[in-house]
Amino acid sequence: MTTMIIAALIWVLLHVVVAGPLRPALVGRLGLPAYRGLFSVLSAVCLGGLIWAYQSAPYMEFWPSAGWVSAVPVVVMPVALLLLVGGLRPTNPTLAGPDMVLKGELPVTGFTRITRHPMLWAFVLWAASHMIANGDAATLLLAGAVLVTALNGMVSIDRKRAAEFGEAWQRFKGKTSIIPFAAAAAGRIRLRFSDIGWLNILAAAALYAIILWAHASLFGVPAYHPA
């Protein structure tokens, strides 16, 4: 379990420290494209290490992962996958990459009308639902590390984009929200079905069906196990 704890801490420190206080100095030395490339490589390596540590960790149960708790991800993951698929628009300024080419007024389209961080909310929903459904120490560390970095990422990205885009970001921020549907509920933006779209729904449904079918083969347990 020590290896699992270390791997989770490294993952969190990479995203909270290297992508936080250390980022300006690293970007100044390497340049933004090189920094993002290096950070992507480090993230992939750390994620691989985290998964390896998880698979090697002993099973320490706090509560059983059967019954109603195992149904939580089954219910939550369709929403998470829809946010994941819908958040991949090239015009989404909160994604790494599009912000480097977007100029002038930042578009408020698609899933950014629901939340300006749809992909990170997908990770939050995955992590939270699996922490509920799997009451063992290794899963809590794995999903907890993802949850912490996803929530921190929303605040961190907002801060970086504010520095990069200035007034354009403030206008974009004023029309959107971190909390899903908060901007629409407050009347700051009008949400239309076309912002979600049938294509995103069908893609998320297909991905969900594949995960349900392959879950036992990939992860050793079925997606839902009532007993």
Convert the pLDDT of each residue in 181-220 to its tens digit. Answer: 999 999 898 988 888 999 999 999 999 999 988 887 777 7
Query: Do 193 and 82 sit in the same domain of this protein?
Result: yes
Could you read off the pLDDT of 39-90 as tens digits, one per residue? 889 999 999 999 999 988 888 888 877 677 888 999 999 999 999 999 888 7
Query: Do 190 and 123 sit in the same domain of this protein?
Result: yes
Pairwise CA distance, residues 175 & 115, whole Å: 10
Residue 224 lies in a domain: no
Query: Do 84 and 50 sit in the same domain of this protein?
Result: no
Domain span at 19: 1-58
pTM attached to this predicted model: 0.90
State the total domains in the chain. Answer: 2
Which backbone phi and psi does 63 adopt, to 5 degrees? Answer: -150, 155
Query: Do 52 and 66 sit in the same domain of this protein?
Result: no
